[in-house]
Amino acid sequence: MHVIITGGAGFIGSNLAEKMLTMGYTVTIVDNFEPFYPKHIKLQNIAAFYKHPNLYFKEIDILNVADLYTQLTHTYDAIIHLAAKAGVRASIQNPVGFQEINVKGTQNLLEFAKFKQINQFIFASSSSVYGINDKFPWCEEDAVLHPISPYASTKVSCELLGHVYSHLYRIRFIALRFFTVYGPKQRPDLAIHAFSKKIIQQQPIQLFGNGSTERDYTYVSDIVDGILASLHYQKSWYEVINLGNCHTVSLSTMLATLENTLCQKAIVEYLPEQPGDVPKTFANIQKAQQLLNYQPKVAFEEGIQLFKNWLLQTTTA
């Protein structure tokens, strides 16, 4: 199979691309190095396999329709669409930019899939679509009519767009709702990465709220396994599927785990809760288990140890 991975130089995309290349796939990475975080970090993400004979790299902005059609000229079997502007708080500051890249960019890729007759489209959705929902764990059948951030609203919009293209053009659209992914190559702005660096450097951590918020942290290799399983799913034309760990960890417990793993205490500054943040995320993964044979393997404490090992290697390299 020849698969396009948009956002393939990012956190999840680079982990996915590396695994797929070892499995014999041909991979085309599409990434525009959007300056949300430094380009050199993304280049480090793909450095180990950049010269692999089955890898093609295309520096393309998914809003640039002409480049999509003129540079992506092979025959492709699937698109795994991970590229997006990410972050709940950042989306509140720039809602128009998030709408343009996330929704219009996704529609551009769906149009490209229609033109190229690519009938397998995997979309990276988000647990944020559930908004504030007190019925735990969250299930795919739960209503997602009330997102509380522009970022979440773009992901809901893209899921609906996928349904339209699936219905009209027989593009199999699988929206995978990721739950708080962490692990090697994690974006430097995300909590586990940012907190770890500040603990090591003995810099203050800004902690929003009282530490009681909970997240369903999911290790990146488990997410990669779920994506790979969805790539071969054929039983229906449209599905929305949670990919989580089915286990919640409080913010205070996450911080304590980092302190224990790094053998250093954190300096904490407590700040008010931020608008757009939800108090808890918790995935029901029964559908993923049934349709994809998905089973998360990495417990939180083990994942933090693996992340620490990667972080110290990259820091000392």
Contacts of 187 (CB under 8 A, 6+ apart): 10, 11, 36, 37, 86, 193
Burial label for 106, CB within 10 Å (0-12, 13-18, 19+), is buried
Strand, helix or coil for residue 249: strand
Q: Is 151 a catalytic residue?
A: yes
Gap between the terminal Cα atoms of the chain: 34
Q: Are the CB atoms for 217 and 250 separated by under 8 Å?
A: no
Strand, helix or coil for residue 120: strand
Q: From CA 166, how far away is CA 119, in angstroms rounded?
A: 9
Of residues 25, 130, 151, 217, which has the active-site annotation?
A: 151
Write the Ramachandran bin of 187: left for phi over 0, alpha for psi from -120 to 50, otherwise beta.
Answer: beta
Range list of β-strands (E), 46-185: 55-58, 78-81, 120-126, 172-178, 181-182
Q: From CA 10, how far away is CA 23, in angstroms rounded?
A: 20
Strand, helix or coil for residue 78: strand
Which pair of structure tokens corresponds to residue 15? 């982990």
Catalytic (active-site) positions: 151
